[in-house]
Structure 1
Amino acid sequence: MTNNEEQQFLAELDKKLWNAADKLRSTLDASQYKHTVLGLVFLKYVSDAFKIRQDELTEQFKNPDHDYYLDPEDFGGEDSEEYAEELKVELEQRDYYAEVNVFWVPAAARWQFLQDNNKTVIGGAELKLPDGSTKKFSSVGHLIDNALEQIEADNQKLKGVLNKLYTRLQIDQAKLGELIDLIATIPFNHASLNSKDILGHVYEYMLGQFALAEGKKGGQYYTPKSIVSLIVQMLEPFKGRVYDPAMGSGGFFVQSEHFINAHKGKIGDVSIYGQEYNHTTWQLAAMNMVIRGIDFNFGKEPANTYTNDQHPDLRADYVMANPPFNMKEWDTGVSENDPRWKYGTPPSGNANFAWLQHMLYHLAPNGAMGLLLSNGSMSSNTNNEGAIRKKLIEEDLIECMVALPGQLFTNTQIPACIWFLTKNKGARTAASGRQLRDRRGKVLFIDARNLGYMKDRVLRDFTTDDLNKVTNAFHNWQMGEEYEDVAGFVKSAKIEEIQKHDHVLTPGRYVGAADQEEDSELFAEKMARLTAQLKGQFEESDRLEAEIKQNLAGLGYDC
């Protein structure tokens, strides 16, 4: 949790970022300026991180007590050109950056080079590059694209990932130069905030704002942080393979990293696998991982999860996703006999149970998964959905159902729920160290519809206490410690009880209504009090009516 000073710093950063987007709003649509701004923010961040490491190295080279000390006397003295040149050469050695997981930035891609030359290249100009060669640039966009190409060439993980679109942008070059100068004022260094955390805030804020600006289309890649946090907290992905088949910009992976760090774990103990169909969103996710130093496998290319599974042999320990709700016509080119449809063929008109079964197919024997689906998935009997849900219940794969409040999403008002499934509800030790009891034949239902608060006029959010309340109920039930049903909120139900409800999984059916406080007032006394109160109200009404008539008569009206 950030303190007040950090929150103020981030709030001011938000304002600068959105001002940067405003520079382009009149000339580019939302989807274009999203990538234009985020691409430049990426360049600024990697340059800042590189410069911070350069400054550290400079101090180490000059510190006699450090292993990297360069003795000036070996190079003609502290003020000699030879010593200055040696320092310069050492600062360009890639190994110094790789050893502390700092992203390597070629000289012509560093922010200072862009800022120093963005005015010069308007209309075209030949520039001397840091390596001493010269190159003709046709525009500011060309200067930026060149920087991105250099970064890709020197960082294989980003091959084909960066959005080199700036030369093609139909935009005033001077305005693009102004944007560079504005982003130059965004600081990625702070006394107590980690630069990667600042960048994470930048990405989260910008993706959220762009989701609002783009409307429904924006939601294909943005899941509210509170929902991602809830799923990650409940699953606790400490160790093993983590998979998201509809990863968007990689929010589940980023939140998993935060969770692991907060609990003193090691991000190296987790392997990241993802898939995404939208090419630009796939690019955002890869950038998101690279700048955080998270190793990842997003397949060879952006691809359709159903027709071009990028991880066919993967069996993940944790699967988390927010797939598109109620997706239609998803099955073109997909066989009815696909091995993923173990529990029934999903209908063409709705992909909800296709996503769920795809995730189950990729789940390891002791794995756990959580996915967001629309509320209809809990009760629909249309086109085989009821039969699939019945089989999932009777195969004892469902562990927990969470009903969410409305207005959590920027781009849809469709009510949502979270499904948690596992292939092993037997007693065992989880990766987190929790001792799980035998939960076979039981399902936990949590009704969280009354939790949260309105953060603005249209959007609801969860507090930390809300997240902890749901998470604790789930974990306590898993371990069999300090758990008890709470009317109106949580209920542990046996499969036999679910069968009596025709295999409907809506939590409200099971948790019931919240207990009302017992009324200590005797019925006869309450009736007498309320009757007297009502009589008094009638008398007051009569008095006010008489007074109104008298006033109207004084004005000449016939009452």
Structure 2
Amino acid sequence: MAEKATTKKEKSIEESLWDSANKLRGSVEPSEYKHVVLGLIFLKFASDKFEARKEELIAEGKEKYLEMKEFYNMKNVFFLPPLARWSYIIQNAKQDDIALKIDTALHTIEKNNPSLKGALPDNYFSRLQLDISKLAALLDTINNIDTQKDKATDIVGRVYEYFLSKFAIAEGKGKGEFYTPKSIVNLIAEMIEPYEGIIYDPACGSGGMFVQSIKFIESHHGDKRNISIYGQEYTNTTYKLAKMNLAIRGISGNLGEKAANTFADDQHKDLKADYIMANPPFNQKDWRADNELIDDPRWMGYEVPPTSNANYGWILTMASKLSDKGVAGFLLANGALSGGGEEYKIRKKLIDNGLVEAIVILPQNMFYTTNISVTLWILNKNKAENTRRIGDVSRNYRNRKDEILFMDLRQIGVPFEKKYIQFSQEQVDTVSETYHSWQQNESAIANEVKKSVYKNIPEYCYSAHLDEVKKKDYSLVPSKYIEFVNRDENINFDEKMESLKEEFSDLLKEEQQSKQELLKVFKNLGFEIEL
């Protein structure tokens, strides 16, 4: 009798590690627990790099330099004292004080490597009182990751990115702002092409924009040494995530001396960036007092953004940071496209000054923190005719100062994790190609890298002259320009109802869980309640 074939998919390193990590979490909140797991991943990575460099020194006959940090730092390797090395942690994994030993190791690494100042988790392991046996099991699992096995594959970076996304999903609405979904960041990078120069993110979260910028450079055979990274992050724990994220990938960046509010304490006041990539908080209220930041130079003579919403504060902050040839790609809630009052006056001036290049509506359910559709804005201070080369690709841009490209992506995307949407790489390529073909001279069609001549497509894209925008009272809502034909006929109602059914089921489960937790609280207080 023939054996029955198995089609069970083998779990990836990321999935296996996530399963092991989840067993440890228990009652610890994902917002805190992520620092525990990511701290351990960093510790393993740093130790593997240290041991590899140590072997190099031995092979070179330099044994007397094995404990000198300079011989590690010169190769961009973090120096680890004996008590901070992974081998020491594993040897003591079953000890009752292992949590304290891990905290001490992370603190010691940070103390011995100035570039890691403010980056690593601080006393998380001891404070959270984790189950020792489960912690030991997690250490064993991480110990099996050979970060040096395949130098061409960024194993640790891949694991780190996977965990960031899983934690963002676990934290859900209102808590996962540290992470912008990878496919959106990829789209921004492919559109604005951060190939060389200064990159800035005023609300950098865990640093995903920077990581994707480096990936863009590498995929187009550029040199990441030609990029300088600057960023700022308000939340201290997220600031640590970003510094760790960059350190794991060997990316040097200036994220400021500390975690700080970009509006109240700008860490890069005189910066002029060639590229800005950002996903600032949506519709931030009370971001400044009525009498604060009135004469701030970032407003550049525009009206002062209203205190009720920071959207235009972010827009002007980024516009003020652009170099003479700078381009910015950033995300905002859709309300910024048509607001009145001071927002209207600022938007009008931005359009009249030729700064707004493209407005792209994204699908719903792309973010883990909100299910609303949001907008990708592209501001460009270099919309005149010029030629630019990215790796093997050369583009001849035409003057687009009197036009704005509108795109609507709400009908594309592929599902993942049941209730979320992401862009496939093919979709990212299609959208960015549409944008770049719009930017180029039609006479450049003879260029062998030219794939298509831009044309308006109903329900997808439209190039509007500024006269049209003025007639529509400076609204940037794409549906006012893009032609829509029989959109309702394209809706798959079976799929839509199935999606709604799953969402409703999840809501009922959450409600039931909340009821049980509430009953438990009252019971602990000595009250019995029947529902």
Which band: TM-score by shorter chain? Answer: 0.7 to 0.9
1:511 to 482, 495, 516: 482
Normalising by structure 2, report the TM-score. 0.83
Q: Which residue of 2 aligns with 1:357?
A: 316
Provide the C-alpha distance between the structure 2 equivalents of 1:424 and 1:412, rounded to a whole number of angstroms.
33
Provide the C-alpha distance between the structure 2 equivalents of 1:284 and 1:456, rounded to a whole number of angstroms.
23
Provide the C-alpha distance between the structure 1 equivalents of 2:339 and 2:350, rounded to a whole number of angstroms.
14
- Contact residue 242 and residue 316 of structure 1 kept, 8 A: yes
Q: Which residue of 1 aligns with 2:416?
A: 455
Provide the C-alpha distance between the structure 2 equivalents of 1:151 and 1:431, rounded to a whole number of angstroms.
41
Provide the C-alpha distance between the structure 2 equivalents of 1:338 and 1:221, rounded to a whole number of angstroms.
27
Q: Please state whether the residue corresponding to 1:318 is helix, strand or coil.
A: strand
Aligned structure 1 segments of 4 or more residues deviating by more than 6 angstroms: none
Quick one: structure 1 residues 26 and 456, their matched pair in 2 at CA, closer, same or farther if it must change by over 3 Å? closer
Q: Which structure 1 segments of 5+ residues have no match?
A: 1-7, 62-67, 71-86, 123-138, 517-559
Q: Is 1:471 paired with 2:432? A: yes
Q: Is 1:229 paired with 2:186? A: yes
One-letter amino acid matched to 1:455: F
Provide the C-alpha distance between the structure 1 equivalents of 2:127 and 2:422, rounded to a whole number of angstroms.
39
Q: Please state whether the residue corresponding to 1:350 is helix, strand or coil.
A: coil
Q: Is 1:494 paired with 2:465? A: yes
- Contact residue 103 and residue 291 of structure 1 kept, 8 A: no
1:446 to 407, 413, 421: 407
Q: Please state whether the residue corresponding to 1:52 is helix, strand or coil.
A: helix
- Contact residue 406 and residue 461 of structure 2 kept, 8 A: yes
Q: Please state whether the residue corresponding to 1:512 is helix, strand or coil.
A: coil
Q: Please state whether the residue corresponding to 2:24 is helix, strand or coil.
A: helix
Q: Please state whether the residue corresponding to 1:454 is helix, strand or coil.
A: strand
Q: Deviations over 1:289-314 (max 9, x none)?
A: 12222121111110001100000010
Q: Deviations over 1:2-33 (max 9, x none)?
A: xxxxxx88x42122222233233213111121
Provide the C-alpha distance between the structure 2 equivalents of 1:473 and 1:502, rounded to a whole number of angstroms.
26
402-411 vs 275-284, greater mean Cα deviation: 402-411
- Contact residue 157 and residue 248 of structure 2 kept, 8 A: no
Provide the C-alpha distance between the structure 1 equivalents of 2:304 and 2:24, rounded to a whole number of angstroms.
46
Provide the C-alpha distance between the structure 1 equivalents of 2:321 and 2:228, rounded to a whole number of angstroms.
14
Q: Considering only aligned residues, what root-mean-square deviation do their CA atoms show, in Å?
A: 2.1
CA-CA distance at 1:434 after TM superposition: 3.1
- Following superposition of structure 1 onto structure 2, how do residues 161-200 of structure 1 map, counting pairs within 5 Å? 161-165=119-123, 166-191=125-150, 193-194=152-153, 197-200=154-157
CA-CA distance at 1:348 after TM superposition: 1.6
Q: Which residue of 1 aligns with 2:369?
A: 411
Q: Which residue of 2 aligns with 1:397?
A: 355
- Contact residue 487 and residue 515 of structure 1 kept, 8 A: no
Q: Which residue of 1 aligns with 2:31?
A: 31
- Contact residue 340 and residue 357 of structure 1 kept, 8 A: yes
- Following superposition of structure 1 onto structure 2, how do residues 278-427 of structure 1 map, counting pairs within 5 Å? 278-332=235-289, 334-341=292-299, 342-381=301-340, 383-427=341-385
One-letter amino acid matched to 2:43: L
CA-CA distance at 1:431 after TM superposition: 6.3
Provide the C-alpha distance between the structure 2 equivalents of 1:484 and 1:98, rounded to a whole number of angstroms.
53
1:113 to 65, 82, 88: 88
- Following superposition of structure 1 onto structure 2, how do residues 200-219 of structure 1 map, counting pairs within 5 Å? 200-219=157-176
CA-CA distance at 1:344 after TM superposition: 1.8
12-21 vs 149-158, greater mean Cα deviation: 12-21
CA-CA distance at 1:489 after TM superposition: 1.5
Provide the C-alpha distance between the structure 1 equivalents of 2:283 and 2:270, rounded to a whole number of angstroms.
27
Q: Please state whether the residue corresponding to 1:217 is helix, strand or coil.
A: coil
CA-CA distance at 1:417 after TM superposition: 0.9
2:77 to 70, 86, 102: 102
Provide the C-alpha distance between the structure 2 equivalents of 1:147 and 1:35, rounded to a whole number of angstroms.
15
CA-CA distance at 1:424 after TM superposition: 2.7
Provide the C-alpha distance between the structure 2 equivalents of 1:48 and 1:145, rounded to a whole number of angstroms.
18
- Contact residue 453 and residue 462 of structure 1 kept, 8 A: yes
- Following superposition of structure 1 onto structure 2, how do residues 142-157 of structure 1 map, counting pairs within 5 Å? 142-157=100-115
Q: Which residue of 2 aligns with 1:126?
A: none
Q: Which structure 2 segments of 5+ residues have no match?
A: 1-8, 443-452, 488-531
Provide the C-alpha distance between the structure 1 equivalents of 2:247 and 2:151, rounded to a whole number of angstroms.
22
Q: Which residue of 2 aligns with 1:4?
A: none
Normalising by structure 1, report the TM-score. 0.79
CA-CA distance at 1:55 after TM superposition: 4.4
Q: Which residue of 2 aligns with 1:429?
A: 387
Quick one: structure 1 residues 431 and 211, their matched pair in 2 at CA, closer, same or farther if it must change by over 3 Å? same
CA-CA distance at 1:487 after TM superposition: 2.3
One-letter amino acid matched to 1:21: A
Q: Deviations over 1:478-504 (max 9, x none)?
A: 112422222221221110011111211
- Contact residue 220 and residue 248 of structure 1 kept, 8 A: yes
Q: Please state whether the residue corresponding to 1:271 is helix, strand or coil.
A: strand
- Contact residue 249 and residue 285 of structure 1 kept, 8 A: yes
Q: Deviations over 1:509-553 (max 9, x none)?
A: 22212599xxxxxxxxxxxxxxxxxxxxxxxxxxxxxxxxxxxxx
Q: Deviations over 1:385-435 (max 9, x none)?
A: 222211211111100111111111112012101000012311123463533
CA-CA distance at 1:143 after TM superposition: 0.6
CA-CA distance at 1:115 after TM superposition: 0.4
One-letter amino acid matched to 1:219: G
